[in-house]
């Protein structure tokens, strides 16, 4: 018992408890023993239990979006696993397999309820420990950048890219067309003798060679800005396609994992039914 109390003292969730409170908690705990290769739990299994390792080692892992197995951690003696679902009582977020024969203390939420009934002040100690972990998580989240990809691309535009986007957008508007119609009309009227008694400047007479050169230069410059904007749009489309691919792949993997879980539960249910059937047959045979 003293060993279990000392073991709990090293667990962050219980470090603020005093020795008496940890002793009360240790008396309620069950001991779990599993051989090497046995699964402690799978992802999406019901949670609510925290495991404190006495002896042995486990491997916490999950599968990424491509189905590749990723090892998150390999806790050993004195370490814990399953703390996330222990806090919220939700489903498991990863799978755990025993890599060395395991002996661990299983702490469930009922054990905490018993502790709180006998030592109500222990609730404040648990809250303090959870608050410390939450502060650490918030500090980590402050340095993350989980933002929309397209928004982030927009924010990283240079001045030239911003001008290119504006010019490309403006050149496709009705206002741009109307301004050019007015500009061309004024230019032509100033270079043709269309009103009797009035002599126009005639700085670019027919066939309007200067106007042709101006329009050609404008087309060249404008095409460069439009191409720059189109290249950026193509890059955004590629990012969007990648995101859609990852979402579809993740959905396929989730469906595959769901099938695996259903198959496993089906096999376990058949095994339990077979055990019940054998027990009934033995009961009838003994009777």
The last residue of one of the domains, among 141, 168, 194, is: 141
Give the count of domains, the chain.
2
156 and 87 housed in the same domain? no
Quick check: pTM over 0.85? no
Q: Is residue 166 part of a domain?
A: yes
The last residue of one of the domains, among 90, 122, 141, is: 141
The pLDDT score that the predictor gives to residue 61 is 85
Listed in sequence order, the residues at least 6 apart from 110 whose beta carbon sits closer than 8 Å to its beta carbon are 28
Q: Is 96 helix (H, G, I), strand (E, B) or coil?
A: strand
What is the rounded distance in angstroms from the CA atom of residue 168 to the CA atom of residue 176?
11
The pLDDT score that the predictor gives to residue 145 is 43
The per-residue DSSP string of 149-217 comes to HHHHHHHT--HHHHHHHHHHHHHTSHHHHHHHHHHHHHHHHTTS--STT-----SS-TTTHHHHHHHHH
The pLDDT score that the predictor gives to residue 191 is 87
The pLDDT score that the predictor gives to residue 101 is 92
Q: Is residue 266 part of a domain?
A: yes
- Give the residue from 78, 77, 94, 109 showing the smallest Cα distance to 39: 94
118: CATH: 2.60.120.10
Q: Is residue 203 part of a domain?
A: yes
Q: Is residue 286 part of a domain?
A: no
pLDDT in tens, 91-127: 887 889 999 999 988 888 777 777 777 767 666 666 6
Q: Which residues of the chain have pLDDT under 50?
A: 140-141, 144-147
């Amino acid at each position: 018992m003293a060993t279990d109390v000392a073991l709990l003292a090293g667990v962050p969730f219980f470090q603020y408890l005093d020795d008496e409170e940890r002793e009360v908690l240790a008396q309620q705990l069950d001991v779990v023993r599993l051989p090497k290769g046995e699964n402690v739990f799978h992802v999406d299994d019901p949670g609510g239990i925290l495991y404190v390792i006495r002896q042995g080692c486990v491997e916490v892992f999950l599968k990424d979006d491509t189905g590749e197995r990723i090892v998150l951690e390999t806790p050993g003696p004195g370490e814990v696993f399953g703390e996330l679902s222990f806090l919220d009582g939700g489903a498991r977020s990863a799978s755990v397999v025993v890599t060395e024969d395991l002996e661990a203390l299983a702490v469930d939420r009922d054990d905490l309820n018993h502790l709180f009934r006998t030592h109500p002040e222990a609730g404040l100690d648990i809250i303090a420990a959870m608050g410390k972990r939450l502060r650490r998580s918030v500090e980590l989240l402050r340095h993350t950048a989980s933002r929309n990809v397209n928004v982030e691309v927009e924010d990283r535009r240079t001045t030239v890219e911003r001008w290119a986007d504006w010019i490309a957008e403006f050149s496709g508007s009705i206002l741009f067309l109307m301004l050019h119609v007015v500009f061309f009309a004024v230019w032509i009227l100033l270079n043709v003798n269309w009103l009797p008694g009035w002599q126009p400047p005639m700085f670019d007479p027919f066939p309007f060679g200067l106007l042709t050169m101006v329009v050609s230069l404008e087309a060249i410059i404008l095409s460069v800005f439009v191409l720059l904007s189109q290249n950026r749009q193509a890059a955004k489309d590629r990012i969007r396609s990648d995101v859609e691919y990852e979402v579809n792949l993740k959905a396929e993997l989730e469906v595959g994992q769901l099938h695996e879980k259903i198959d496993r539960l089906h096999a376990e249910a058949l095994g339990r039914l077979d055990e019940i059937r054998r027990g009934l047959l033995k009961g009838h045979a003994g009777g």
